[in-house]
Structure 1
Amino acid sequence: MTRAMKIFIGIITVIILAFYFNIINFTVDGKEVDAITGIDNFFGLFVGYLYAVLFYQIMGFPLIVLILLVGSITFTFYFRFINIRGFMHSIDVIRGKYDNPNDTGQISHFQALTSALSATIGLGNIAGVAVAVSLGGPGAVFWMIFIAFFSMSAKFVSCTLGQLYRKVNADGSISGGPMYYLEE
């Protein structure tokens, strides 16, 4: 974490604590507001600006959706359809073809897969399919499959970067993930 980021987090923490303990009285339109409302108003401004940028409509689609779609399609073509070419290799890894009991590491390949899937697939993905089909009709399934096909390459890139920039701690444990490769 950079020095500027640590300073920013420290300032935000002090402001939140000041509001929480009512050290700073927050007034809106001449009325004194409690700490929770003050914090909500403070972050509401930031989130409002962020929402305006990320969900800006371009051709009827939010900007963030277009960024993710273009990135996923780019990764798919750049890695020459790794989601298809690497399918059998992934099955071999899960079945334990490459397992070696003498290898260093804390978890098996299968445990890594189930951990990644549990972080990726949640209640929103399960309920989201039902809601999408009920609101959009059966055509929604095609678009979900279409987006998922290209999103596999984005997930591949994310997992690969997580492995490349992971850190081995002094006690032998391993730390990694997006927070590590985004810092680099």
Structure 2
Amino acid sequence: MLKKLPIGIQTLSHILYDGYAYVDKTAIALQLIESGKYYFLSRPRRFGKSLFLDTLKEVFEGNKALFKGLYIEDKWDFEDRYPVLRISFGAGVNKNKAELDRSIHWILINVARDLELEFDEGKSNREGFQELIRQAREKYGKKVVILIDEYDKPILDNITDKETARTMRDGLKDFYAVIKDNDQYIQFVFITG
């Protein structure tokens, strides 16, 4: 009997535990992890980008049981866990800079909650993101992993309005600049959209 196709499913555990067909991409994940630090992948929709991001998250969080029988199972030290800041701009549509700022703010609150970190809601998004990176490094004693999905969605949602698209681009550029400025606290970055 053929396995079900995981159309639209972006969670590795869901695919593996619920009997969906899965093409093992962990050899590629391991190669990327071991050979570089910063990656950017741009592909059309439905190319498995979000699923690959989730695969990286599970590897860095040390979820060994999930990788039983896969290439990476005996090639990665799953005891060596990293704090993962996973950011996605996939939900909702931001029509202006204020909405983008609110979205980023809520994303950062959720990242802080997931990693059990403090988030100072009075800080700018740029300052808050920087603080979360540094707090995660300090709390977990490991450099952080940053995974960003749909990095350009706020721009694409406004592509027909050049001025708004430009405003979104500038807002995201300011936010993403935090990554460069905090290189010493970062283990790995993968940005896709």
Higher relative CO (Cα under 8 Å, sequence separation at least 6) belongs to 2
Q: Quick check: which one's helix share is greater?
A: 1
Q: What band does the TM-score fall into relative to the shorter chain?
A: under 0.3
After TM superposition, the score normalised by the length of structure 1 is 0.26
After TM superposition, the score normalised by the length of structure 2 is 0.25
